[in-house]
Amino acid sequence: MSERRSSESGFPIKGVYTGADLPEDLDSRLGDPGEFPYTRGVYPTMYTSRPWTMRQYAGFGTATESNARYHQLLRAGTMGLSVAFDLPTQMGYDSDEPIAHGEVGKVGVAIDSIEDMRLLFADIPLDKVSTSMTINAPGSVLLLLYQLVAEENGVPGAALNGTIQNDILKEYIARGTYIFPPKPSLRLVADTFAYCRKEVPKWNTISISGYHMAEAGATPAQEIAFTLANGVEYVRAALAAGLAVDDFAPRLSFFFVARTTLLEEVAKFRAARRIWARLMRDDFGAKDPKSMMLRFHTQTAGVQLTAQQPEVNLVRVAVQGLGAVLGGTQSLHTNSFDEAIALPTEKAARLALRTQQVLAYETDLTATVDPFAGSYVVEAMTAEIEAAAVELMERVADHGSAVDAIEAGFQKREIEQSAYRIAQEIDSGERVVVGLNRFTVDEEEPYEPLRVDPAIEAAQAERLARLRAERDADAVARALADLRAAADGTENVLYPMKEALRARATVGEVCGTLREVWGLYRPTDRF
């Protein structure tokens, strides 16, 4: 029997729930599926007409190796690609820069130029797949490379469908792959909104992420509170740049975690939709229903996977995926069971996808919309999480804005306190982790992880040297000068950035040009 008596968010879980625990205004809190406040889902039919988009996060080593993995996943039935980039790419450095040494191709694919992007998506029909790219500070750079490759293959921007994470504020809170200070970073986000509205209209311009905050230790209430507070900041930045709310808000999307605490996770997703719908309608005057819909991608909780008895992670991932589906996610990535050890093997990645396919095609989850609606426990938990998240958002607002709260260290401090509490509970045995602090085995079975060839770094450096020798250096210099002028002024920087990338400027050169104008962010900076 479980020993859990309180939720991850800190409110007590009762042994029995009754009708007395339901909010008195439940009907107005619920609405119908596809209608305000979208508690029951953003679409009227949800999965009864089509399942969620099944994504698998992949990318390692070279673009060619990652391309092969994408083709394997597509053959296995995945419906969308999710691209992982290596750390130098995430930080806007080329593979041959000294700071990149030892990290090239390690946690994702190395992309230095349009040539790498061509290899990454070779023979993949970009007008038929949905591509999500987990990239933040240089998100606009990678999007433009993707668009350029699509155009080379006869696919116009209007036909492209996908998402860039592009969520820089959570980097200052929980993850750390920032480049520029927050103000120019927010400008770059707003420029991306404006560019995509004209040039890539079906693209989701941002995936406002709570996942990484959850991985850092945030509770469910903290996850949605700080994520939605960041969302408010992005909306304000876009409005300040002269965009109308209904011109950009329908392309906003979100990214959350799914933990093993299934009931609370379902409640979290439902509460998040309700809060966002009210914010967009009441605070920002949105009229378009799509502006009020909180559409989100979910990834199962990597932080809850264990290197001990890794096969048990298959069970964890199945439970987490179930919570995401019952919570109404629009797309889902299920982690591979071996990710606590190393990059997933091909077999492990395929098993993770098969987990989603079992949920979609062998269960009755897709037969009806929001099956937990009216549940005593889920509706009570939804109200509890909603109240806790709104209170936290008010504390963020008391600082002036999400950026001001970041500067004061508020979100980071709150998350660190939660992470410390969780660690203490695991260490004491109060929080059971199967295979780690209970139900352990004396001897683990041998496991051979996927390893990245260290020769990749040298190969990428050779490719860069060849690129620089073959390209028109004067054309690159002129294009980077145009980018520098735009960054120093008020012009949308994505247009000259695209021309620089077309001229075969590298990711590091483009980001380096912006660094020269906007500077680097350091946590001790005031802004």
507's enclosing H/E stretch is helix 507-518
- Going along the chain from its start, the domains and CATH numbers come out as 36-365+372-428 (3.20.20.240), 471-518 (no CATH)
Nearest to 39 by CA among 230, 262, 221, 269: 269
Beta bridge partners of 54: 332
Full 3-state SS string of 269-302: HHHHHHHHHHHHHHHCCCCCHHHHCCCEEEEECH
162's enclosing H/E stretch is strand 161-164
User: What's the confidence (pLDDT) of residue 451?
Assistant: 67
User: What's the confidence (pLDDT) of residue 106?
Assistant: 87
Neighbours of 102 (CB within 10 A): 10
* 483 in Cβ contact with 463 (< 8 Å): no
Q: For helices 182-199 and 139-152, what crossing angle results, to 10°?
A: 20
The Cα-based distances of 458 to 26, 92, 93, 506 in angstroms read: 61, 18, 15, 17
Quickly tell me which residue has 């190395």 as its tokens: 110
Burial 174-201 (b: 16+ CB within 10 A, else e): bbebbbbbbebbbbbbbbbbbbbbebbe
Neighbours of 26 (CB within 10 A): 15
Classify burial at 309, counting beta carbons within 10 Å of its beta carbon; exposed 0-12, middle 13-18, buried 19 or more: middle
Hey, what are 141's tokens? Answer: 């750079």
| Residues whose CB falls within 8 Å of the CB of residue 483, separated by 6 or more in sequence, listed in order | 493, 496, 497, 500, 510, 513, 514
Beta bridge partners of 298: 256, 332
User: What's the confidence (pLDDT) of residue 55?
Assistant: 85
Distance CA 144, CA 366 (A): 36
Could you read off the pLDDT tens digit of each residue along the chain, which spans 527 residues?
445 589 999 999 999 999 999 999 999 999 999 999 999 999 999 999 999 999 876 666 789 999 998 998 899 888 788 898 999 999 999 999 999 999 999 889 999 999 999 999 999 999 999 999 999 999 999 999 999 999 999 999 999 999 999 999 999 999 899 999 999 999 999 999 999 999 999 999 999 999 999 999 999 999 999 999 999 999 999 999 999 999 999 999 999 999 999 999 999 999 999 999 999 999 999 999 999 999 999 999 999 999 999 999 999 999 999 999 999 999 999 999 998 887 788 899 899 999 999 999 999 999 999 999 999 999 999 999 999 999 999 999 999 999 999 989 999 999 999 999 999 999 999 999 999 999 999 887 776 666 667 789 999 999 999 999 999 999 999 999 999 999 999 999 999 999 999 999 999 999 999 999 999 998 764 44
Neighbours of 51 (CB within 10 A): 19
Hey, what are 425's tokens? Answer: 């509970």
Classify burial at 426, counting beta carbons within 10 Å of its beta carbon; exposed 0-12, middle 13-18, buried 19 or more: middle
Distance CA 391, CA 221 (A): 10
The order of strands in the sheet holding 296-300 is: 161-164, 130-134, 80-84, 53-58, 331-333, 296-300, 252-258, 206-209
Hey, what are 315's tokens? Answer: 């069970």
Distance CA 191, CA 491 (A): 9
User: What's the confidence (pLDDT) of residue 442?
Assistant: 86
Distance CA 509, CA 315 (A): 45
Classify burial at 305, counting beta carbons within 10 Å of its beta carbon; exposed 0-12, middle 13-18, buried 19 or more: buried
Neighbours of 481 (CB within 10 A): 13
Distance CA 47, CA 366 (A): 5
Beta bridge partners of 57: 82
* 280 in Cβ contact with 395 (< 8 Å): no
User: What's the confidence (pLDDT) of residue 526?
Assistant: 43
Beta bridge partners of 84: 134
Hey, what are 516's tokens? Answer: 């020269």
Q: What is the DSSP letter of 305?
A: -
